[in-house]
Structure 1
Amino acid sequence: MKKRIIAVLVLALAIVIADRFILALTEKPSVGHFRSAEGRSTYVTAYQDALAAFPPEQSTRVPTSFGDAYLHTWNTAATGIPILLVPGRASGAPMWNELLPHLGTNRPVFAVDAIGDAGLSTQSTPLTSMQDQAAWLAEAISHLGLDEVHVVGHSFGGATAAALAMYHPDLVASLTLLEPVFVLRNLPASAFFWATVASTPLPQSWVDRALAEIGGTTVEEIRERTPVSVMIDAASKAYSAALPTPKVLTDSELERLSMPVYIGIADHKSLAGGAKAAERAQSHLPESTVKVWPNTTHSLPFQVTEKLGNELQEFWRASESSAEQLRR
């Protein structure tokens, strides 16, 4: 299963690269939308099938200035500081299925579908900047009545999580960035090349090879089908996203992240910047926890689920303990 989720997220990442490199040259929709009722129906069926692997205890739609955000909740009776999971591009809340069982049970866990992207959230107002991206997420958190959250973002979701921490630090108890794209370094040129191949009407064998190159995986894994891969494939065909393009954080912006920060980087075909990204993070965030995970790719959170879950639980405990000591 873990190998198959890798191929799924490679497809999602190819979508975001193609959006930045190709669709930037064309007119984008002002708000994200499904291209047809039939496409939406196909997507929603796939979404529900994927979510069934680890069904939430509660699902909630909350209003924001940019549309309605749809969130799922687990551990609703827990009393610790909540965890908020922000998905990668075209992935939605079900992408977290494999990691969810390893996040502990003493904190509520929220997973959101991004406004402007495929999912069950709906967009009403254009998102023109990463500050807007942070604003709708902050409004959703506040509408839920949460004072602060441990926010976790993967891939494009890492850029959104970093924007939330930068513009609304009072809401962020800690920040976890897992293979975040467009945060510490730009994507490598090879990723843009292979994303171009993947999004061009070429023979499927070429597209499969391109996706494998992007994700550091095999063509065989790319071709496997799972409920989540079916969902992401449906999203890529049925949904026109309308999202701002993230920019790599400047040194001063990084240094503004005063909350506890955990950064996980892959050691093989990292799209977050690899060892150089880790070095930059450690240089400008000396109090942060930065780890280059061995034998991982961009799909890091789903290759080391148990070990990562245990590390994050310890990171959150330490963060809360430090905050408590400062309040005394």
Structure 2
Amino acid sequence: MNDPVEPNIGAAFRPRRLGHFRDASAFARYRNAYDQAMARLPEPDQTQDVATRFGTVRVYRFGTGDGVPLLLLPGRTAATPMWEANLAGLIAHRPVYTVDLLGEPGLSVQTRAFTSAADQADWLAELLDRLGLDRVHLFGVSIGGWSAFHLALRVPKKVASVSLLDPASLFGRFTWKVVVMSLGSVVPFFPESWRRKLLSWISGGADASEDEPVANLISAGMRDFTAFLPPPTYPTDDQVAGVDVPVLALIAGRSIIHNPRKAALRARRLLARGVVELWPDASHAINGEFPERVNARVLAFIDEVDRTDSAALG
């Protein structure tokens, strides 16, 4: 794998409120976990480090086919390897781009602090311009879903559709359980065994042992990276209703990040062009629990969007 641009390492980045690895050893541990997890993915057709006003973004392209591409946005501390269960099935149907989110653990490198949700939409919009992508289908999980929503809200001309997997802080407010979970990501001396239990808890009992590469990566990011991200703003009813692109929202019935039933009700009530499904057996780790079912549902949705768009143009 290509070396990334020079990572942010050490406390010198703290006064500038930039995401950084705690020290050189922390980055080395994280990079080893990242490479091991990436080795489980299909080989990227292209790897790029793309400069934006807020930092350099690590981008992978998988697949070389035609059609409006998918852009995958990962959950917090997860980076590109979290899509291991989904990638092969998705790239068999259309080109796919994945990114490591700026300000989060990964190989993207933040150079300017975020102050608002608008900033986090701005760097994504700029990234699409730099990649030469006029329109994309967005596919985000958890906080990646929050990022996808805000891009669609602010720059809808770039967005063909949005698929959301149990999105965070969009249709339901965070629960106290998320506060407990967040402690494991910010306290350096948090016992590793407890961190693993928290990961398993938020994932509905999924394997978070040292034999699981993605769990290792997330745990390393929680332990070794310091982030300075503003709390994700909770959108108003008018903002949710103002997203004028097709939206597929898959809400996990066993999610701990919000009240799933209330979240699904709010999404159904407000989304102007929404398809909302509550999956009773899914946890917040829905993409890994039901990869074939998730892939099939998302691909069917975006295929229908493309057919509708083509008919409108033709």
TM above 0.5, yes or no, is yes
Pick one of 72, 78, 84 that aligns with 2:65: 78
Q: How does 1:145-184 map to 2 (within 5 A)?
A: 145-184=132-171
Provide the C-alpha distance between the structure 1 equivalents of 2:184 and 2:30, rounded to a whole number of angstroms.
24
Query: In structure 2, do the counterparts of structure 1 residues 214 and 227 end up closer, same or farther at CA, with 3 Å as the change threshold?
Result: closer
Q: How does 1:63-102 map to 2 (within 5 A)?
A: 63-75=51-63, 77-102=64-89
Query: Equivalent residue for 1:301?
Result: 287
Pick one of 251, 257, 271 that aligns with 1:271: 257
Q: Which piece of structure 1 moves more, 183-192 or 141-150?
A: 183-192
Q: How does 1:47-58 map to 2 (within 5 A)?
A: 47-54=34-41, 55-58=43-46
Q: Check conservation: 1:29, 1:242, Cα contact below 8 A.
A: no
Query: Equivalent residue for 2:9?
Result: none
Pick one of 190, 205, 214 that aligns with 1:217: 205
3-state SS of 1:292 partner: strand
Query: Equivalent residue for 2:241?
Result: 255
Provide the C-alpha distance between the structure 2 equivalents of 1:202 and 1:142, rounded to a whole number of angstroms.
40
Q: Check conservation: 2:184, 2:222, Cα contact below 8 A.
A: no
**Paired letter, 1:317:** D
Query: Equivalent residue for 1:319?
Result: 305
5+ residue gaps, structure 1, are 1-26
Query: In structure 2, do the counterparts of structure 1 residues 259 and 286 end up closer, same or farther at CA, with 3 Å as the change threshold?
Result: closer
Query: Equivalent residue for 1:137?
Result: 124
Query: How far apart are 1:316 and its partner, in Å?
Result: 0.7
1:227 aligns with 2:213: yes
Aligned-residue CA RMSD (Å): 2.1
Query: Equivalent residue for 1:113?
Result: 100
Identity across the alignment (%): 33
Pick one of 122, 133, 146 that aligns with 2:109: 122
Q: Check conservation: 1:159, 1:182, Cα contact below 8 A.
A: yes
Q: Which piece of structure 1 moves more, 149-158 or 283-292?
A: 283-292
Q: How does 1:1-12 map to 2 (within 5 A)?
A: none
Query: How far apart are 1:172 and its partner, in Å?
Result: 0.6
Query: Equivalent residue for 1:190?
Result: 177
**Could you give the per-residue CA deviations for residues 130-163 of structure 1, whole angstroms, max 9, x where no partner exists?**
1100111111111010100001111111111111
Provide the C-alpha distance between the structure 1 equivalents of 2:196 and 2:91, rounded to a whole number of angstroms.
36
Provide the C-alpha distance between the structure 2 equivalents of 1:240 and 1:46, rounded to a whole number of angstroms.
17
| Alignment length (residue pairs) | 299
Query: In structure 2, do the counterparts of structure 1 residues 148 and 212 end up closer, same or farther at CA, with 3 Å as the change threshold?
Result: same
Query: How far apart are 1:254 and its partner, in Å?
Result: 0.7
TM normalised by structure 1 equals 0.85
1:290 aligns with 2:273: no
1:237 aligns with 2:223: yes
**Paired letter, 1:265:** I
Query: Equivalent residue for 1:3?
Result: none
Query: Equivalent residue for 1:19?
Result: none
Query: In structure 2, do the counterparts of structure 1 residues 191 and 235 end up closer, same or farther at CA, with 3 Å as the change threshold?
Result: closer
Q: Check conservation: 2:186, 2:226, Cα contact below 8 A.
A: no
Provide the C-alpha distance between the structure 2 equivalents of 1:216 and 1:157, rounded to a whole number of angstroms.
19
**Paired letter, 2:132:** G
Provide the C-alpha distance between the structure 2 equivalents of 1:122 and 1:197, rounded to a whole number of angstroms.
23
Query: How far apart are 1:210 and its partner, in Å?
Result: 4.5
Query: How far apart are 1:205 and its partner, in Å?
Result: 5.9
3-state SS of 2:264 partner: helix
**Paired letter, 1:236:** M
Provide the C-alpha distance between the structure 2 equivalents of 1:206 and 1:312, rounded to a whole number of angstroms.
34
